[in-house]
């Protein structure tokens, strides 16, 4: 029997990442080996969408070439094989995030996962009022007098679903404020989260500030209040080790396209005891036990929340992406990206007229930096960088309230990943240093 290395074993066996290794990794990503505007591409937009290694591309291609069929529905050979690789992918992702197999649900992206939770909770009130479902469902139902708590730094995907849940149920939406450098005001969190809090939803790592939030402190406040705790892990799962059980959250979401996988695939983790009693979000085939002309009975999770034909090839590719990250070593990736992030912040802070959002140099952050160039609109900054072969993100990054709190309407964001070198960062910094002179700002 072959010996399979665990993530911990791989971490111990491998040295810290360096530019030489990153250049070898870069060869696994075909899209990076091209010229943009006559210059080698520097891709610093992985916070929006990461690139795909050959192993991920081939995993999805192999599925279509060798075993394309509907899962869970056929007795023929291809259907059996398709079901096996589909469910093997679920097990791989469960292991990747430290969840149980039955607690891992496929979604299109993290946004769908958050909406799933939101609508399931609003349906809980309807089911409980009709005496339908498990007796514990009534405790999950929200109504007037209940509160939902988010933070001021949330991506719209982890804000608007909760606004709408408050609207549908009559609950009140509250938020934990940030201070001027973007850090959560934990003193305020202790007063905002209280006996009326039914849901506490927050991001693990900010897609604008780069801040890694104190998950366990926030979760402890949520637990003390008896609230459900929802974690947006979009900017953490691709970049640092994630164990949802150790973090003690009730739900967590992530998107595959931010962690080397294709678009159209995401994951919702939920505690088994919660998933099995929550009403489903989407309904139809493949998630039922019995159907009459009047009503239906639903399967337990995960199938309970997976109506219709699933994202089979994308799930297989996501599992390949998780294996790639595990084999490289998430601790090593996080350390390398932290180094790149610090290099970006130190360099940006040294450029006159540039304001960096989030923690100052020397404080922990993921490998991204959003910044404002005085006198130059973020879109102009992005186009200037693109003319030099450097891909970054511009706009409010789906975080308008956060930008408004910081007195801005838009910023430019550079976000690194495991395939970026220090030379990429230096080329980026050199280009930013020339922005104000070019626009005569």
Q: Is the dihedral of CA 243, 247, 250, 254 positive or negative?
A: negative
Residue 234 bears catalytic tag = no
- Specify the DSSP class assigned to residue 279: P
HSE value, Cβ hemisphere, 13 Å, CA-based, for 12: 4
- How do 172-176 and 147-151 pair as beta strands? parallel
Distance CA 348, CA 263 (A): 31
Q: 398, 405, 422, 439: which is the annotated catalytic residue?
A: 398
With CA atoms as reference, report the closest residue to 206 among 341, 385, 343, 51. Answer: 341
Q: Supply φ then ψ for residue 89, to 5 degrees.
A: -65, -40
Distance, in Å, from the CA atom of 419 to the CA atom of 53, rounded to the nearest integer, reads: 10
Phi, psi of 317 (to 5 degrees): -70, -35
Contacts 24+ apart (CB under 8 A), 359-364: 359/181, 359/182, 359/183, 359/209, 359/210, 359/211, 360/181, 364/212, 364/338
In whole angstroms, give the CA distance from residue 412 to residue 433.
Answer: 14
Report CA-CA distances (Å) from 70 to 105, 109, 280: 17, 21, 22
Catalytic sites, residue numbers: 398
């Amino acid at each position: 029997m072959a010996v399979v290395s665990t993530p911990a074993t791989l971490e111990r066996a491998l040295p810290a990442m360096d530019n030489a290794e990153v250049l070898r990794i870069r060869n696994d990503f075909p899209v990076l080996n091209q010229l943009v505007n006559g210059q080698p591409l520097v891709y610093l937009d992985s916070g929006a969408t990461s690139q795909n290694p050959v192993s991920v591309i081939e995993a999805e291609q192999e599925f279509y070439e060798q075993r394309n069929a509907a899962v869970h529905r056929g007795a023929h050979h291809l259907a059996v094989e398709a079901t096996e690789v589909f469910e093997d992918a679920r097990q791989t992702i469960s292991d990747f995030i430290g969840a149980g197999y039955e607690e891992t649900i496929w979604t299109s992206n993290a946004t769908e996962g958050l909406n799933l939770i939101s609508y399931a909770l609003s349906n809980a009130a309807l089911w409980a009022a009709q005496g339908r479902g498990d007796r514990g469902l009534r405790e999950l139902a929200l109504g007037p007098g209940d509160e939902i708590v988010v933070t001021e730094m949330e991506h719209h995907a982890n804000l608007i679903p909760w606004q709408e849940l408050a609207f549908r149920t009559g609950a009140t939406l509250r938020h934990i404020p940030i201070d001027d450098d973007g850090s959560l005001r934990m003193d305020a969190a202790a007063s905002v989260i209280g006996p009326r809090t039914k849901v506490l939803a927050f991001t693990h790592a900010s897609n604008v500030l780069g801040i890694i939030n104190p998950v366990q402190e926030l979760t402890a406040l949520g637990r003390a209040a008896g609230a459900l705790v929802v974690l947006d892990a979009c900017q953490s799962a691709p970049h640092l080790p994630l164990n949802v059980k150790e973090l003690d959250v009730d739900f967590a979401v992530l998107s595959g396209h931010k962690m080397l996988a294709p678009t159209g695939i995401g994951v919702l983790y939920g505690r088994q005891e919660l998933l099995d009693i929550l009403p489903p979000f989407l309904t139809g085939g493949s998630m039922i036990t019995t159907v009459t002309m009047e009503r239906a009975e639903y399967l337990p999770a995960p199938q309970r929340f997976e109506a219709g034909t699933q994202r089979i090839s994308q799930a297989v590719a996501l599992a390949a992406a998780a294996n790639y990250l595990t084999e490289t070593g998430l601790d090593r990736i996080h350390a390398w990206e932290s180094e790149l992030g610090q290099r970006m912040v130190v360099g940006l802070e040294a450029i006159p007229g540039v304001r960096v959002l989030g923690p100052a140099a020397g404080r922990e952050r993921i490998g991204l930096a959003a910044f404002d160039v005085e006198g130059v609109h973020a879109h102009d900054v992005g186009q200037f960088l693109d003319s030099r072969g450097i891909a970054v993100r511009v706009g409010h990054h789906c975080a308008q309230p956060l930008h408004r709190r910081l007195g801005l309407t838009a910023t430019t964001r550079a976000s690194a990943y495991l395939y970026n070198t220090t030379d990429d960062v230096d080329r980026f910094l050199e280009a930013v240093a020339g922005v104000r002179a070019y626009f005569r700002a």
